[in-house]
């Protein structure tokens, strides 16, 4: 069926949608109120290159220091550590590498299990797999869209047991080596409760903060709350270095080890090549770090613009029954990396209808990731009951959220 045909069919059928008198067309009308009318296509999340990117990259090229050693890498790491309120940041070539290395640093080994939400981007699960470990999937709550701490606490009382080398899953006999909360779409997880659980069981806590640069939990930056954290600077993230990532930690020994392992475990020396273990070539090139410095200078503006866009969405959707724009709990302040339209009831049909109508009208909207336990390679992994995750997957639609959309609005509105 042609797109236009499907669209008109969908528009006709709207009259009989289950959501009372509300139709996918109402969503389209709301998007047209919030987003610039003159543009033919509006991306889900595009980079904003509006600062000193060209200057710094040119300076980097002129210096000849384009690879993984150079002053922009050091500067970017210092800026990141300052922004995120941690002692150390170690830049990596992408967020997945940062997560992998964070798990290695945490001592995750082959045959271990890593606790993580099923509702996450696949990198979280893949990073555990690269260690030879098995992801163990946890449910989310509707309050945060992140790991449900109450459910996790009860679950661990049931399946976990403290043993000689840590804590073990009594059902599989494997060690529970790390807990990896992910701050979904920039909304911080309930970290106090998760820290309490990590302490109760003595499990390393690693934040997957790939989506939450600039977000805070009780006033503290996301990424500063666990033992380690991973950031991403992919093209669609809050700031971008083309591709890039970072490990954050307050532990100086860990940070030194992160640098060492990400630099092929080479022992620094003027002329000899000596390596003391199997390392990785995971460092961020200087040229990407140059871009990162320019991007990070603009972070406060990006976050303000994204929050202003979120407010506009929230206002515009308050009058539409059966759905709302998700806002996290009061103790958190999200960067609103991706704005989330949340249907009050799971409805795959209506979800698809909204996606069809909006995408065919030039608004790039998307489903949330398919939950990890539904993917073929992870379907046999251990997991708790995932009722809320299953429901949320059929309730969420991600809306266009680029900083530039909010920036234009705040200028127009001022
Ligand atoms: C983007 C992202 C990553 C991975 O980052 P890359 O830089 O793309 O490798 C990891 N976890 C989550 C939740 C992400 O959104």
- CA dist 322 and 20 (Å) reads 8
* 257, 281, 297 - which closes a domain: 297
Q: Do residues 218 and 314 share a domain?
A: no
Distance 62 CA to ligand 1 centre (A): 31
Same domain as 217, residue 198:
yes
What pLDDT score does 17 carry?
Answer: 45
Name the domain count of the chain: 2
Shared-domain flag, residues 83 and 232: yes
**Whether residue 11 has pLDDT greater than 70:** no
Q: Which of 297, 326, 347 is the last residue of a domain?
A: 297
Domain that holds residue 147: 53-297
Q: Is 124 found in the same domain as 247?
A: yes
- 256 and 306 in a single domain? The answer is no
Q: In sequence order, what are the beta bridge partners of 248? A: 89, 229
Tell me: pLDDT of 14 over 70: no
Looking up residue 332, the CATH number of its domain turns out to be 3.90.1150.10
Whether the model clears a pTM of 0.75, i.e. scores above it, the answer is yes
Enumerate residues lining ligand 1, CB below 6 A: 94-96, 99, 120-121, 123-124, 182, 208, 210-211, 232, 234, 245
- Paired sense of beta strands 245-249 and 228-232, if any: antiparallel
Predicted confidence band of residue 4 (pLDDT cuts 50, 70, 90): low
pLDDT number for residue 5: 56
19 has pLDDT over 60: no
Using most ligand atoms within 8 A of CB, pick from 121, 239, 245 the residue to mutate for ligand 1: 121
Task: Mark whether 103 and 218 lie in a shared domain.
Answer: yes
Residues 19 and 139 in one domain: no
Cα radius of gyration rounded to whole Å, the chain: 22
Are 222 and 359 within one domain?
A: no
Q: Render pLDDT for 206-254 as a digit per residue (tens, 0 to 9).
A: 999 999 999 999 999 999 999 999 999 999 999 999 999 999 999 999 9
pLDDT in tens, 311-342: 999 999 999 999 999 999 999 999 999 999 99
Domain end call among 264, 282, 297? 297
Sign of the Cα torsion 289, 207, 116, 171 reads: positive
**Residue bearing tokens 């990407």:** 288
Instruction: Report how far residue 46's alpha carbon sits from residue 404's, in angstroms, rounded to the nearest whole number.
Output: 8
Q: Are residues 143 and 204 in the same domain?
A: yes
What is residue 38's predicted lDDT score, i.e. its pLDDT? 85
pLDDT at 104 over 70: yes
Cα distance between residue 392 and residue 387, in whole Å:
9
Q: How confident is the model at residue 408 (pLDDT cuts 50, 70, 90)?
A: low
- Specify whether 175 is located in the same domain as 323: no
Best of 210, 235, 280, 368 to mutate for ligand 1, by most ligand atoms within 8 A of CB?
Answer: 210
Of all atoms in ligand 1, which is nearest to the CA of residue 182? 13
Q: Contact 34/309 with Cβ under 8 angstroms? A: yes
Q: Are residues 282 and 315 in the same domain?
A: no
Tell me the DSSP string of 323-389: EEE----TTEE---SSEEEEESS--HHHHHHHHHHHHTTTB--EEPPPPGGGSGGGTTS-B---HHH
Q: Tens of pLDDT along 28-52?
A: 999 999 998 888 999 999 999 999 9
Same-domain status, 88 and 222: yes
C-alpha of residue 311 to centroid of ligand 1, in Å: 25
> Max alpha carbon distance in the chain (Å)?
75
Whether 30 and 317 have beta carbons less than 8 Å apart is answered as yes
CA 261, 264, 270: angle at the middle one, nearest 5? 110
- What mean pLDDT, rounded, does the chain reach? 93
């Amino acid at each position: 069926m042609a797109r236009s045909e499907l669209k008109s069919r969908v528009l006709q059928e709207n009259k009989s949608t289950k959501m009372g008198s509300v139709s996918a067309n109402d969503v389209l009308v709301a998007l047209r109120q919030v987003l610039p009318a003159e543009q033919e296509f509006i991306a889900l999340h595009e980079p904003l290159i509006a600062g000193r990117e060209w200057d710094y990259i040119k300076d980097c090229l002129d210096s000849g220091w384009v690879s993984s050693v150079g002053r922009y890498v050091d500067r970017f790491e210092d800026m990141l550590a300052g922004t995120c309120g941690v002692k150390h940041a170690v830049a990596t070539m992408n967020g997945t590498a940062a997560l992998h290395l964070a798990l290695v640093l945490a001592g995750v080994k082959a045959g271990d299990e890593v606790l993580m939400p099923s509702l996450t981007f696949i990198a979280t699960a893949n990073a555990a797999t690269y260690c030879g470990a098995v992801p163990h999937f946890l449910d989310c709550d509707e309050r945060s869209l992140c790991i449900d701490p109450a459910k996790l606490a009860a679950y661990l009382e049931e399946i976990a047991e403290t043993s000689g080398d840590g804590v073990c899953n009594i059902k599989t006999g494997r060690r529970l080596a790390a807990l990896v909360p992910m701050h979904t779409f920039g909304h911080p997880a309930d970290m106090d409760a998760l820290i309490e659980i990590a302490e109760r069981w003595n499990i390393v806590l690693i934040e997957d903060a790939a989506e939450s640069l600039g977000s805070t939990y009780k006033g503290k930056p996301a990424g500063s709350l666990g033992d380690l954290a991973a950031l991403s600077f992919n093209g669609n993230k809050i700031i971008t270095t083309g591709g890039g990532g970072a490990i954050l930690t307050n532990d100086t020994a860990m940070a030194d080890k992160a640098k060492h392992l990400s630099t092929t475990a080479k022992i620094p020396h003027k002329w000899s090549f000596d390596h003391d273990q199997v390392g990785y070539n995971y460092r961020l090139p200087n040229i990407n770090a140059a871009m990162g410095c320019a991007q990070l200078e603009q972070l406060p503006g990006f976050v303000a613009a994204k929050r202003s866009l979120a407010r506009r969405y929230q206002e515009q959707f308050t009058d539409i029954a059966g759905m709302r724009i998700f806002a996290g709990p009061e103790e958190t302040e999200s960067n609103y990396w991706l704005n989330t339209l949340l249907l009050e009831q799971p409805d795959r049909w209506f979800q698809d209808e909204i996606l069809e109508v909006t995408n065919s009208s030039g608004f790039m909207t998307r489903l949330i990731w398919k939950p990890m336990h539904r993917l073929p390679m992870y379907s046999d992994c251990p997991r708790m009951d995932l009722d809320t995750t299953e429901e949320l997957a059929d309730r969420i639609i991600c809306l266009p959220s680029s900083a530039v959309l909010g920036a234009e609005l705040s200028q127009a509105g001022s």
